[in-house]
Structure 1
Amino acid sequence: WIKGDAEIFSIVSGFGLDGKVRVDTVTHPYLNDAGTTYYPNQILVNWSQYKYNLADTVMMEDDGDTDYSALAKAIAAALLTIADLGAYVPLVDPVVDAIPSSFWTDDADFVDAWYTLARETTGTRDGAGGNGRFTFDRYWVSAL
């Protein structure tokens, strides 16, 4: 609380269309207060960028000045050893392990993780750690 509002973001991971690990960061600037329900209608996973019908997400809180693009690139580089062997492999644990140690300074906190989100995932799902809750719905974005 001394540093102001929470800086919440999610790291979405899966396999890109090329079969290589894909890591995207999604910021949630409106998530400021614990115990509050928010209704952002925000797209978390752009399924057109993923090979498989599954992705994982790790939600983090940061009070520093994180460059989310650099963080995503660092994580993706660390995950390059994970091969697409024709079956989806959950990436939450490797993502958390791949976060550069410098990121953990200034009190960055793991919030929660959601494993195996599918394109068909709908409804409310608690995070694996019981610290967060998402309500998922499908949303089709058509090309212009």
Structure 2
Amino acid sequence: MLTVANQATFIPLAAAVINAMPDSWWTDNPDYVESWYSLTKDSTGTLRGVSNRGTMTVEPYFVNRF
């Protein structure tokens, strides 16, 4: 991708964006485990994550008004 500057000079934009990204962005990060897309107020029990690598136990929680 190139950006036109001053209607005559081409500046390589994609290379600048990629070079500005930290090196850690390109490494495999084991901190991510799972995603859950649909949690509702009626969800109860143990739910499996989207990629089936994690589980989450949920139950309703009610807050009393003062």
Q: 1:105 to 1:141 in 2, by over 3 A?
A: farther
Query: CA distance change for structure 1 residues 132 and 109 in 2, over 3 Å: closer, same or farther?
Result: same
In the superposition, the TM-score normalised over structure 2's length comes to 0.51
Structure with the bigger RCO (C-alpha within 8 Å, sep 6+) is 1
Does residue 1:129 correspond to 2:48, yes or no? no
1:126 Cα offset (Å): 0.7
TM-score, normalised with respect to structure 1:
0.26
In structure 2, how many angstroms separate the alpha carbons of the residues matched to 1:141 and 1:105? 43
Is 1:117 aligned to 2:46, yes or no? Answer: no
Which structure's CA Rg is the greater one? Answer: 2
CA distance in 2, matches of 1:104, 1:131: 22
1:129 to partner: Cα distance: 1.0
Counterpart residue identity of residue 53, structure 2: N
Identity percentage of aligned residues? 32
